[in-house]
Structure 1
Amino acid sequence: MGPWARMVCSLSLLLQVPAGPAESSDFYLAGDYLLGGLFTLHANVKGTVHLNYLQVPKCKEYEMKVLGYNLMQAMRFAVEEINNHSSLLPGVQLGYEMVDVCYISNNVQPVLYFLAREDYFLPIKEDYSQYVPRVVAVIGPDNSESVVTVANFLSLFLLPQITYSAISDQLRDKDRFPALLRTMPSADHHVEAIAQLLLHFRWNWIVVLVSSDDYGRDNGQRLSERLTGRDICIAFQESLPTPQPNQVMTTEEHRRLRAIVDKLQQTSARVVVVFSPDLALHNFFHEVVRWNFTGAVWIASESWAIDPVLHNLTELRHTGTFLGVTIQNVPIPGFSEFRMRRWQAGSPPSRNGRGATCNQECDKCFNTTETFNEVLTLSGERIVYSVYSAVYAVAHALHSLLGCGETGCTKEVVYPWQLLKEIWKVNFTLLGHQIAFDKDGDMPMPLEVVQWQWDLSQSPFQSVASYYPLQRQLTNIGHISWHTPNNMVPVSMCSKHCQPGQRKKPVGIHPCCFECIDCLPGTFLNQTADEYDCQPCPSNKWSHRNGTSCFKRRLAFLEWHEAPTIIVAMLAALGFLSTLAILAIFWRHLQTPMVRSAGGPMCFLMLAPLLVSYMVVPVYIGPPTAATCLCRQTLFPICFTVCISCITVRSFQIVYVFKMASHLPRAYGYWVRYHGPCVSVAFITSLKVAIVVGNLLTTSPSPTTRADPDDPQIMILSCNPSFRGLLMISTGLDLALSVVGFSFAYMGKELPTNYNEAKFITLSMTFYFTSSVSLCTFMSVYSGVLVTIMDLLVTVLNLLAISLGYFGPKCYMILFYPERNTQAYFNSMIQGYTMRKD
């Protein structure tokens, strides 16, 4: 004997519980094939209170549940409608027998009763494939815990069971519950609808309240998992205490409820999602009303979304806005009238002398339902349709199994496993909706989001949105009357959304709680990549504060239309033209003493590089290129060094002739014989060329960009700044030559006037030395566009200092004092200098 068989044998003792006579025909209708119905007519949340004694609980001692009775009437209505329908099960009388399970307290006794035969005997067999129980299928019960208990028994016999409101996802396990189907979408869809509702209204800071049972814990955990990754945080989650069977609030329960309401008042979350049976909420909402808690949005799970008893607590209208997720409303013609129909006869129909089983009585059901009839009528047939469609699904399967035609059926023996196969195959239309079960045994009926209304002229549960399981999409979100000033959508956020260009700085452990920090200039926020870090812009781009993207920096370089550039260009043009004029004058008076005393042919060696240097000035203007940078770094330095070296050699030569030739005649002879001036200039020039070539090999002449330190929106386009370090070596040679030239010029300050070029050389070299040192100092502390214009200005001024400072006075003498440009005049000046020395 297997373990299940032993358990069935033990529990079969419960079938012998004495039964009283039936007091209401609502529970039984004779027929050729019976359907079992399990409904909650009375509610008792504490399901373990009867485990300490062997007695079936008396459900009528608990509080009546109006919705349960309403659902039982739906099954009665469906069976009677099928019996009166000529095309479905013609000639077959469909019957039913129903039992009150009082929520979760009374499940084992009814299921054993349905499995037993008419003689209350449940035999122990090795093979139940040929066994015929009392009923061919069971409709119900309503909650997941009861369904699991019943399904564990019915699955052993493959007796079809269709539940109409249990949503637990564990019921989709067909290996564990092969005979279980349902006409209600699973919890996965209910939770998804709630999650999409939260996302639609941007509520990312919520409170979750769950009942202290599997229903509350499982759905609370499922919602938490579903919200992960959707930027919705749970401020806190609390378990509601399980009330006593008589709904009397104990001290401990009152303390826990007060603590929960106190946390609700203190939190900034204004949206409360509640997964709980309606029985566990009566005391809680009374406590909410008592402490005058208002301004919340209450989101109800399907277990209490359309509960008329809670809705009857009209004070709830002041606590906030109530939204609930429930099955779609499908009007059933004639059902509202049937619900209030009493039996015409004074006593219930006969059951062939047999007594009723336990919990088939409800003294107050009709009167209480009559009290809520208007609310039930206005609410529409929601879960009612789930019961209605479940009965029709069994009827269609039975119709197919019995081979029914237009006039009759075979009325053969129906084994549970045979009917189960046919139920899986059903596919028909009922009141405009397709009735079929998917691979998990679920019927993907649409869900609705309803809002509670307290205006008795309209439906108390007004539909405001629809959810379609097949598309997993919440749509048709309509007008909602918010319990807020000006009907504004309530805000429930731990932190408001950051403005564009602001990153999130986490505060605490919840990702929904953060501070908004502006992204600094030069960084931007890419929200699709990371909302918590500002990313730096590429080197050629920039951004403003609070930037969401980067823009290209403006390239800065010397442009022709700028005033400083025009001034320098005019000075360069003046220098070029004046140097060209000097060259023509010197060429015209090449054999005169004035030209010979200035250096003779060496003057042209100085003037030619000066002209080239002036011609190089335009390469400083406009966007630099590799070619222009190459000209800057090679042509100008070499040309300028040639000029400086010529001036230095010339100053040395004059001093040497007048002051050292008599003392060192042999050295002077070597200087003249071996062309000392030319050799010296060539050597210095070669040294400068070597330095320039070394610089080019070390650094690339290609232009580079760098940010302007004064305005980061500007990128300075210039020649390679790394060249500046090596430029010091090249400039150092010119500075050394200028110092040497200055020294020799100072030594020759007493020479004859016509030969005395000291003051002109001193002026030129002093200006060059001072300007070059100042430029190097400026370049070391500043790197903006001004460096380029200063570099160009100093360069042009140095060229002018040589052109006009050295050659200008000589041209002036040649043009305006020709009498002094004679050999006789020069000889007289030399004789006078010699006589003074003697």
Structure 2
Amino acid sequence: MYDTCNVPHYELQGALEVLTESGPLVPNYRCLSRSPFTAVIGCVVSANTIILANVLGTLRYPQISPLSSVSLLSNRPAFPSFFRTVASDKFQSRGLAKIVLQFGWTWVGLLAANNDYGQLGIQPIKKYIIKAGGCVAFTETIFLDQLDRNAPHIVKVIKESTVTVIIAFALDVDLVPIMDEMLKQNVSGKLFVGNAGWAKSNLFLMGKYFQVISGAVGFGLARHLVPGLKDFVVRVENSSYIEQKWKHLYWEKILNCKFSVDISNSSSLDALVKECPGAESISSVRNSYTYTSSFKYTHNIHDAVHVVATALELMRKCEMSGRFYSSENCTSFRNYKPWQLLHYIKNVRITLSSGREIYFDENGDIPPTHDVVNWQKSSDGSMYYVDIGIYDSSTLPDATFHINSSFFRWRLGDSQVPRSVCSDSCPLGFRKAPLQGQPNCCFECIQCLQGEISNQTDSIDCMKCPWDRWPNSQKSSCVPKMLEFLSFKEPLGAILAAVSILSAFTPVSILKIFIKHKNTPVIKANNYLLSCLLLVSLSLCFLCSLVFIGYPQTETCLLRQTSFGLVFALCVSCILAKTIMVVLAFMATRPGSSLRKWTTPQLSYLIIFVCFFIQFILCIVWLLFSPSFPQNNIQIKPGFIIVECNEGSLIAFWTMLGYLFILATISFVVAFLARRLPDSFNEAQYITFSMLAFLSVWISFIPAYLSAQGKYTVAMEIFAILASSWALVICMFLPKCFIILFRPAMNSKEHLMGKKQKD
């Protein structure tokens, strides 16, 4: 047994002294005259273990470390004879990254000592976190060569950072200055995640650390009790297998005393230390040395000794049974080479009393298992850690946590899991937009554009909805677009339909009046047959608006504009014929006029036929070459499918309207010129007013039609049809109906003639 005090050159010196036995130390050579020693158990510090493993590996001396966990030692070509009974930091680093990500901590800070242990432990954590989509706000180094361990700078960075969670990969003694500095600067609200180097340290059990250590979570080395250890430590004075020197050291530690020889050789500072009695029993003493369940690393050392003993037993049994390995006879138990023992160590498989197995993989590592611990504050103000679960990585790559979350107590006893994110998650309907110069965890949430959704939190991109769907109000899913058309079931469509039907009865009612009073002077003076035809066409004008209401189908789309164009062409043609006939009738009354032969009903019918036929030809050409058809318009109104009739050819549509405008304009001009004819022919005045109203309606219709959208375009055209039709009914027939119904005395030839003579 060689006490190196964890000093590297002492470690190396001890190994070389064993190898060379005496004289000058000769590296890479074995100068022993006696039987070789079996194996080396040690070192504790990973950096020192690496130095020793390079020397012992050259001669294939088995080396088993109970505590050196740095992942570099798993490099088998570099360290062919190295084993350890502690889990590699490779698995611990992966587990720490997993536990951070499991709690949703995507914005973390990293601390690590500036040695192999810290740097080789923290780099995999950083890699795993970034690979999983997390971010590292800062990575600070604990300088072991500085007395304050660079604590002021580190705490300043921690204090100014927005991170809540900090992963510290270091030994407890190196982390104490950081904790003290945090207390000095009154830094709170941070949560530490620790490795096995400090997660179960007794240094932080003092109550003063509760402000910075409370709620900390980390990994501790999995412990198991060594059978018989408790009885052994209290009866060690009776053991014949332990040298007296080791017994004395043990007594001095337990009883806090010094033997007389040691007191005489000690400094004056130790003068007050009591002398060990030498005969006192330690079985009744109760302290940390006799409370074996508090031993953190004893089982690792016991496992290392157990492995070597088992390997020697395997070698002895092989020699006794005569079995073979590597095509050679079994090794002599009294005379073997280091590499021969190495073979047996590789094949050791031990089942502990807890049921856990110890064996080595191809890299000399044991199945890794860690305790998950949580630092909590007790009722008396002190700190303690609680084992809340196990991280079992023996089934890698599917390593799993077994955690009882109900045992967790976070900062200052809070049961709510802390949050550590750079930016809050983007809800449904938003996407993440990275901030320039910031890690990918720092972003702003931008609402999806019109027609796009995001159906999961933290979406990077928004998805466009299909053409027939539209985002809901939260923009989290696509819902079917609403169909928009002028329906009979909606109020606007129902009102227009009702007005159209009721309005159609007005010309019919007037027609009945005209038929009943067809022999009266007022009716005769205004061309009875043309008036009847005009009233029928006006009734059809009112009814044609019904074709515009309802779901657009192929048949209705073909009928809409053509029926409108034809019935209005018939209506305006009748008015034009009446106007021309009024003028011709007046001119034919002049003496010697040759126009008398043109004042026959056949001329008016010819005018109506020609004007109507031209419109009919236009509509037939339109239907043959570019007919109207139903279509779904998704461009006009977001979130709606406008079911409308595509006119096919806009040129044909406006030509049809333009032709009606020409007919109405001609009627207006002719009627305006004939407005001062004698009273018996004063229908020209009514035609003038009716055409003026008709033209006003349709001239106003054009900009309103072009600016309206969706169903309101159709409603606007129906309104123009109804308004223009009512203008004709009111201006042309209301005065006549008033005379017929309410002023029958005026409906006489004498009255009309008398009025003429008066004029």
TM-score interval for Structure 1 and Structure 2 normalised by the shorter chain: 0.7 to 0.9
The yes-or-no answer on 1:320 pairing with 2:213 is yes
Match of 2:167 in 1: 273
Letter in 1 for 2:348: V
RCO greater where, 1 or 2, for CA within 8 Å and sep 6 or more? Answer: 1
Residue 317 of structure 2 aligns to a residue whose secondary structure is coil
Which of 544, 547, 563 is 1:619 aligned to? Answer: 547
The range that moved more, 282-291 or 660-669, is 660-669
Displacement of 1:208:
1.4
Preserved contact between residue 589 and residue 595 of structure 1 (Cα < 8 Å): yes
Displacement of 1:463:
0.6
Letter in 2 for 1:462: V
The whole-number CA distance in structure 2 between the counterparts of 1:340 and 1:764 is 125
The yes-or-no answer on 1:475 pairing with 2:475 is no
Match of 1:426 in 2: 348
Displacement of 1:632:
1.9
The range that moved more, 405-414 or 752-761, is 405-414
The yes-or-no answer on 1:203 pairing with 2:105 is yes
Preserved contact between residue 168 and residue 192 of structure 2 (Cα < 8 Å): yes
Displacement of 1:227:
0.9
After superposition, the Cα gap between the structure-2 partners of 1:277 and 1:379, relative to the gap in structure 1 and judged at 3 Å, is same
Match of 2:315 in 1: 401
The yes-or-no answer on 1:257 pairing with 2:151 is yes
Residue 112 of structure 2 aligns to a residue whose secondary structure is strand
The whole-number CA distance in structure 1 between the counterparts of 2:247 and 2:153 is 37
Deviations 1:225-250 (A, max 9, x none): 11114453322221112146xxxx3x
The whole-number CA distance in structure 1 between the counterparts of 2:371 and 2:298 is 15
The yes-or-no answer on 1:214 pairing with 2:116 is yes
Displacement of 1:666:
9.1
Deviations 1:688-730 (A, max 9, x none): 4167448945x6432435565xxx6665544349977874443
Preserved contact between residue 379 and residue 459 of structure 1 (Cα < 8 Å): no
After superposition, the Cα gap between the structure-2 partners of 1:364 and 1:604, relative to the gap in structure 1 and judged at 3 Å, is farther
After superposition, the Cα gap between the structure-2 partners of 1:101 and 1:631, relative to the gap in structure 1 and judged at 3 Å, is farther
Preserved contact between residue 704 and residue 719 of structure 1 (Cα < 8 Å): no
TM-score w.r.t. the length of structure 2 is 0.78
Q: How does 1:461-610 map to 2 (within 5 A)?
A: 461-469=385-393, 470=395, 471-478=398-405, 479-484=407-412, 488-507=416-435, 509-516=438-445, 524-527=453-456, 530-531=459-460, 540-543=468-471, 547-580=475-508, 606=534, 609-610=537-538
The whole-number CA distance in structure 2 between the counterparts of 1:529 and 1:730 is 56
After superposition, the Cα gap between the structure-2 partners of 1:134 and 1:114, relative to the gap in structure 1 and judged at 3 Å, is farther
The yes-or-no answer on 1:632 pairing with 2:525 is no
The whole-number CA distance in structure 2 between the counterparts of 1:132 and 1:594 is 151
Residue 193 of structure 2 aligns to a residue whose secondary structure is strand
The yes-or-no answer on 1:435 pairing with 2:358 is yes
The whole-number CA distance in structure 1 between the counterparts of 2:536 and 2:34 is 124
Match of 1:56 in 2: none
After superposition, the Cα gap between the structure-2 partners of 1:183 and 1:630, relative to the gap in structure 1 and judged at 3 Å, is farther
The whole-number CA distance in structure 1 between the counterparts of 2:737 and 2:196 is 109
Preserved contact between residue 527 and residue 578 of structure 2 (Cα < 8 Å): yes
Which of 291, 294, 299 is 2:193 aligned to? Answer: 299
Match of 1:108 in 2: 12
Residue 402 of structure 1 aligns to a residue whose secondary structure is helix
After superposition, the Cα gap between the structure-2 partners of 1:465 and 1:814, relative to the gap in structure 1 and judged at 3 Å, is same
Residue 189 of structure 1 aligns to a residue whose secondary structure is helix
Letter in 2 for 1:418: Q
The whole-number CA distance in structure 2 between the counterparts of 1:230 and 1:118 is 56
Q: How does 1:86-165 map to 2 (within 5 A)?
A: 100=4, 102=6, 104-113=8-17, 115-116=19-20, 134-165=36-67
The yes-or-no answer on 1:447 pairing with 2:370 is yes
The yes-or-no answer on 1:735 pairing with 2:639 is no
Deviations 1:121-167 (A, max 9, x none): 97989xx9xx9983333333234333333333333333333333333
Preserved contact between residue 630 and residue 643 of structure 2 (Cα < 8 Å): no
The whole-number CA distance in structure 2 between the counterparts of 1:306 and 1:423 is 30
Residue 408 of structure 2 aligns to a residue whose secondary structure is coil
The whole-number CA distance in structure 2 between the counterparts of 1:185 and 1:557 is 73
The range that moved more, 192-201 or 428-437, is 192-201
Displacement of 1:447:
1.0
The yes-or-no answer on 1:391 pairing with 2:305 is yes
The whole-number CA distance in structure 1 between the counterparts of 2:317 and 2:720 is 111
Deviations 1:255-292 (A, max 9, x none): x3222223323333332221123443344444344444
User: Over aligned residues, Cα RMSD in angstroms?
Assistant: 4.8
Displacement of 1:405:
9.8
> Which runs of 5 or more residues in structure 2 are unaligned?
257-285, 323-329
The whole-number CA distance in structure 1 between the counterparts of 2:105 and 2:385 is 22
Residue 783 of structure 1 aligns to a residue whose secondary structure is coil
Aligned length: 711
What is the percent sequence identity of the aligned residues?
Answer: 26
> Which runs of 5 or more residues in structure 1 are unaligned?
1-26, 28-97, 351-359
Match of 1:334 in 2: 228
The whole-number CA distance in structure 1 between the counterparts of 2:496 and 2:486 is 11
Displacement of 1:464:
1.9
Deviations 1:800-837 (A, max 9, x none): 44456546666788899999999xx59x979997x999
Match of 1:759 in 2: 685
Preserved contact between residue 430 and residue 447 of structure 2 (Cα < 8 Å): yes
Preserved contact between residue 207 and residue 237 of structure 1 (Cα < 8 Å): yes
Preserved contact between residue 194 and residue 219 of structure 2 (Cα < 8 Å): yes
The yes-or-no answer on 1:769 pairing with 2:695 is yes
Match of 1:8 in 2: none
Preserved contact between residue 576 and residue 666 of structure 2 (Cα < 8 Å): yes
Residue 631 of structure 2 aligns to a residue whose secondary structure is coil
Preserved contact between residue 46 and residue 69 of structure 2 (Cα < 8 Å): yes
The whole-number CA distance in structure 1 between the counterparts of 2:289 and 2:614 is 111
Match of 1:224 in 2: 126
TM-score w.r.t. the length of structure 1 is 0.71
Deviations 1:74-118 (A, max 9, x none): xxxxxxxxxxxxxxxxxxxxxxxx553615444433444455579
The whole-number CA distance in structure 1 between the counterparts of 2:375 and 2:99 is 16
